[in-house]
Amino acid sequence: MYMDLQLRNGRRVIILGIFLYCIVLIVRYTTKELYLDASEYPVVWNSWHFGVMFLFGYLSPKYWYLYLSLSIAWELSEYYIDTTTIVYSILGKNDKMYNPHDYLWNSLGLLAGVYASKFQRINLMKDIKGLLIS
């Protein structure tokens, strides 16, 4: 099956993002501590949202609508999770995942990535794969 290069880049960003996010969740679950809690480190999480969406916009600007839809769906799922007891039962603490400002950071990151892709193209995925493989 043929997959567009930009779509493949987006898939790689999703996999990398999920991997890094799972590491944070595993550390939180095993230690029962809220490492990198959003209320204590808002810049970290805002930067995370902006950075991931920037990569989506930069590496696959043709599919900006797909990644905007996925980010909205993700934020809605975080809202749903926060309104249930799932997080409380896993972590045993009041860890709020949902932040209404995440929509803003996601949109700004995606917009900046699409805008940047129009001017300077570097082979960022080659550099990232080189870091991960070597």
Which sequence spans correspond to the domains of the chain? Answer: 5-133
**Which positions of the chain have pLDDT values less than 50?**
1, 134
The pLDDT mean for the chain works out to 78
Supply 15's token pair.
Answer: 């996999």
The percent of the chain in helix, strand and coil, each rounded to the nearest 5, is 75, 0, 25
Instruction: Give pLDDT, residue 134.
Output: 46
Full-model pTM: 0.73
